[in-house]
Structures are given as C-alpha cells and as structure tokens.
Chain A
Amino acid sequence: MQPNVVSLISIGRHPQSGRARRAEQDGRGVELGLKLAGEKLSVLHVGNPEEPVLRQYAGMGLPAMTVLKQDETADAVPALSDYLQQEKIDIVLTGVRSESGESSGMVPYLLAEKLGWPVVARVADIVSIKDGVAEVLLALPRGQRRSVTVKLPFIASVDNAAAPARQSAFGPGQRVRMESVNTHGEVDQIRVDWQEAPAKPRPKRLKTVKAKTAADRFKAATAKPQGGSGKVMKNESAAEKAKAIFDLLIEENVIR
C-alpha cells in the first residue's frame, strides 16, 4: 500500500542573487515524497498560482499540483490545516525553515498542533512504512543519524541532509495540471508592526581581557596559552595508560 504523502512547497530565495528559486529543503521534501509515493504524491502550495517558481518544482516530474490561492500578507497555516483536515493523509513533508518571510520554521509545529499529529523535526530519510508505522532517520549534528519510529499520520520537516532534489525539466514543468483552490486567509496582524531591513553583518566577538592592571593586560597579550593542568602519566604500564585513555573516551561518550 502506498501512503498518501503531501509535500508543502514554498518560494525560495537564492542566497547570493536573491532571486526566487526552488527552495533547497522543499525540493528535498518533494524528492523524498516522490520516493515514498511516486506519481501519487500531492504537492501543495499556498499563495499565488501564477508564480513561475512553482514550475521548477513541477519539472521534477509532477503531473499535478494544488495551490491554495491566497494573498501574500495572509497567514498560510489556517488554510493549510483546513485543507489537510479534509483529505485523508498519512505524511506531510515540509522544509525546516523557509527561505523567505519570517523563516521561523514554525509551520510544521503549528500544523501538528492544529491537527493533533506528532511532528518529527529534521528528517534525513524515511526508511520504511509498515503497518501504519514509519521508520524515520533524523539528521543530528556531526553527521550522526538517529532512528525513530512514529505512527501515521505525522508531519516531518526535511533537513538538508536528505537526498538532494533531482534536476528540474522545463517542458514537463510547463505542462503540469494546476488546481487552484480559493481560500481567504486573514492578514497577519502581528507582522504588520515589524520593521524589516537588509541583514547587517553581525559583529565578531572580540576577545576582551578583563584585567585590572596594566601588568595583567600585558601578560594576557603576550603569554602563550598554557594549560599545564592536564594529567600526565609517565611511569605506569602501557595497559594502565591505555585504560586511562579508554575511561576518558567512555566518560565523554564517544565510543559506544
């Protein structure tokens, strides 16, 4: 049985040129969706159905695409949760963070809270789906992976560690069936008061020396950093030395 998978897509932004593009993580979400559901994958966007970037997603081999038509200033979450509640869906895939707008990464969590589903953050892969339970690989820092099982239905945000999106073909992208659904979202009132400016480079932290006297400051500026506090083992046998190292490795939890 193939699961019902929905991939949510948004309009990305190229980090250098600032041009609209297929968002990195959403593209990976569509790729993962195609792996799980093949042609039956539904792809959902909230916003303007005329947006040319949607064709870049469609060019990954999607026969159809649904767009919930909405103003740009409106909040996407109510429209999404209304729509997702109507359909019978097993897995919703999103990116971790959008590349435009607020970029808070709250969409999967808000949807999950509204629908009452569990949310799995930073998914690298969905390995298997069996008897209504999915085995999911989470991307951890330092290239580590954690295996987690979760009951369907659930929401997953797709990490950059997932398989990269396939190349987009122009022709099929133009031929996609666009289904647009009219919704009326409410204007995001809180956001109206915010001020937006191009990002300033963040100041680098300087190493300040809190010394009370000139002699201390001089010492801090010139002295070689010296630990000197480490334990040194000289006369023990090789086995004892190795044991000490091994204990430290176990204590630091680096060997399993």
Chain B
Amino acid sequence: MSDIIRRDPRREWIARNRLHPLHDSVANAVQGEVRGPSGLLRKNPHQVGFIGPNGLKRIDRLKGNAVVGVGNKRSAANQEAVLPLHKVDNPDFYIVVVPDMVGGRLSGHDKDILGLAHTMVSTIEGNGAVVAVCFGESKETHYDLAGVDRLIHLSASEYEGFAPEARLTALTHIEAQLAPKHWLFPDSIHGGSDLGSRLAARLGERPAAQAWQVSGEQTVCRGGGGSLDISRQTPRILMLLEECGEAIDETRHEALAIEVDGISVSEPALQDKGLMDVDPSAIPLAEAEFILSAGNGIHNWDQFHKVATVLGATEGASRVAVDDGFMPRFRQVGATGTWVTARVYLAVGISGAIQHMQGIGQCDKVVAINTDAGCDMVKRAALSVIGDSEDILAELMLLAQARKKGSQEEQSDAA
C-alpha cells in the first residue's frame, strides 16, 4: 500500500455526528491509544463503560475486583490465581536451611528463615538454590509455597524424635555433598540452636548465634545476654532469631528432592528414653501445648476434670466459668486472663466472645464442642462438634480410657 494518507470525509462526518446511526461502529473502529495534536493521550469519555439492563450507562471502577456473587463460581476459581513458579536450574551454590518442623510442619520461624535465605540468595552473585533439610516424619504439604527449591527429607527411623547425633552425621554428609554457602538454623529451643552449635563445632566454623539482621555481607546478632548488638561479617553458619526475615508469599518453588546416600549412623552416645510424664496441671497455662477449656456450657464439672486428667490436658476456662467460681482465676483464658499458645485448644461450651478469642489468637488447631452451630467459636474452629457437652465428653473419656488400657496391655505383653 502507498504511504499517502487518504481521508474519508464521510467517515469523519459520521464520527463527528454522535446522532448518526453508524456513529458507534465508526468511533469504536479506532484502535489503540489516540494522541491529540500536542502529543497528549486522549481518552474518549463516551466509550467508557457499558449500557446496563435498564438502559443506563454503567461504569465499573472496581477493575474486576468486585465481590464475587454466590452463583458466580467460575470467577471465584479464577481468583485463586496460581503463583508464578520460581525455577532454579543447575544452581551455582546452595543455602541450606534446617527447619525445626515442630509437630512435623514448618513453623512461622522456619518460614521466616526460608524467606531470609531467598533474600540472601538474591544478594549473592550467581543463581543459588535454597535447600531445606527435614528430619523424621513430615506433615507439611506446602514446601513449594514456603520457598523450598530443593528438599532433602531424611525420614529414616534413626532421625526420628530426639537424635541430635544422627542428624549431625547427616548434616556433615550434606556438607560434603553440596558444600553450601551458608547454613541457616532457627535459634530456638526446639533443637535448632543445639543442632547448629553441634555442626559449627564439628566443622570448626565460628557461627553467629541470635542473629536478627542478616545480609550477604553483614550480620547483626545479639550478644552479652541480649544487651549488645554485634555487627560482623556474615559467617557460614547462622542461628537466627524469630522474625529475622519475611516469609515467601508471592512465588511458588520447585521443592525438588535431593537424594543423600551413604550416610552411616553409628550408635549414638545419647540414648533417648522417651518423654517423661509431666503433670499437665503444673505446666503454666501460657506454655501448655494442649488445653481443654471450659465455659458456661459445662454443667458436670467432675466429669470435666476427669476428662482433662485422662486426656493429659491442661485445664483452661472462660471468664464466666471463673466468675461463677468453678475454676480458679489463673485458669482464665482471654484478654483479662492468660494469652495461650497451645497447639490444640479444645473449647467446650464456650461461645467465643471477642475477649476470649483474643487470648487464643496464637492457637493452631481449635476444636469446639457447642450446642449452638452459629456461635463465633464454631467459626474459628478447625473441627466443630454440635451437641451436648456432657454426652460428647463421656464418649471422649471412653475412647481415651480404651486407648490407655490398650497401650498398657501392650507394655505388659512386651515385658
């Protein structure tokens, strides 16, 4: 075609005349952005929006973020967008994270450290991969969303439970195989700081403990019993405090398995004899792992105390139960009581007033037993059971007693 611009006076005339029956088709034919004579971007305000069902013009300013209606299933599915996949092929170096995996899942602390590992990777030249080393049985299903590029899962029985020496042996093997640039451990009482210290002593590295501000070059860690900030070069082995980094939330990762073979674990010097039975009522409420909590829906208090003993749960209570004199004040959970951190919180006959909910904000799994299916506790709970508390507690007691008897018989069989 020739470069000569040919004008069509009739089309121009129709475009100017908004009342012309063909105006719409001519005006909409102009594609892309339109520049005015001074080079400014021009928008045609008459083309925005659409004509609604009753003939009125409608302009959608929500840009597709409108609340999804009930019948609109398809767009709801679209909203759960798949995060972009972060891929690392042939990594130049590795940063190894050894998460605590409390209860077989990545804790918030672990996820922060995985996030930090990724910020460290981005400040170091070359493409690096973040490796997670997990020991024992794992219930975690979302390694990919937590930022794990490579996963080493050692599930053999010798790593299960308390096995710092076997785990140390495995880590020294991984050191030989991957030669990671950094080792990151959570500085926690769940075994992370113990394992990190063991590895540092074995490798002859000088670690940074209680580190909380880490970049590729510089690390700030606490010293002097928490009274000093020590700035130093980032060492190879780091033990990191909580909230040291931001957890990954915008990318998906491969979580490819890496095999480590040829680990030979020798007979450990520390022999695990298992957990001791501690009196659950002696554990401070704020620290207790499993709380059985009673509210206004409990009428048989003897039964409640018995169930708590059989299940081995620490007792808690709502304010009403305390005010009515059924429970001591130090058992009260909530805004004016204790803020608990239990992993499992079993709320029996508690409606879930906001003052109570504040106290259980950090609990992982909440289980509700209540007669009212619409109460706030049921909305918060991972499992809710609608029914009378007395019947359900009675059944629960039977189950717990049967299990106890079973395990005792097993022991006497073995003996």
Contacts and interface: CB of A to CB of B under 8 A. Distances in A.
Interface stretch (B2-10, B146-154, B198-206): B198-206
Contact of A103 (B222, B271, B387): B222
B183 to A, nearest CB: 14
B174 interface: no
Interface in A122-138: 122, 135, 137-138
Closest 9 CB pairs of A and B: A242-B395, A99-B225, A118-B269, A143-B283, A109-B201, A254-B290, A147-B273, A104-B209, A145-B276
A118 B198 CA distance: 10
A233 interface: yes
Interface stretch (A65-73, A172-180, A209-217): A209-217
A215 B343 CA distance: 34
Interface of B: 62-63, 65-66, 103, 162, 164-165, 189-190, 193-194, 197-198, 200-202, 206-210, 212, 222-233, 241, 243, 249-250, 269-276, 278, 282-284, 287-290, 311-313, 343-344, 346, 365, 367, 369, 373, 378-388, 391-392, 394-396, 398-400, 403
B62, B66, B227, B403 — which one has the most chain A CB atoms within 10 A of its CB?
Answer: B227
Interface residues of A, number: 79
Interface stretch (A30-38, A46-54, A245-253): A245-253
B62 A118 contact: no
A112 interface: yes
A140 to B, nearest CB: 8
A88 interface: no
A162 to B, nearest CB: 14
B400 A246 contact: yes
Contacts of A13: 224-225, 227
Nearest to A143: B283
Interface in A233-248: 233-234, 238-239, 241-246, 248
A232 interface: yes
Given A99-B225, A113-B201, 4 more contacts: A100-B225, A119-B198, A121-B164, A142-B283
Interface in A18-65: 18
B201 A112 contact: yes
22 contacts: A97-B209, A101-B224, A103-B209, A104-B208, A104-B210, A113-B201, A118-B165, A138-B162, A147-B274, A150-B270, A194-B231, A195-B232, A199-B224, A200-B229, A202-B241, A227-B379, A241-B392, A242-B396, A245-B392, A246-B399, A249-B290, A255-B290
Given A122-B189, A141-B287, A145-B275, A248 B200 contact: no
Contacts of B103: 252-253
Contacts of A106: 197, 200-201, 206-207, 209
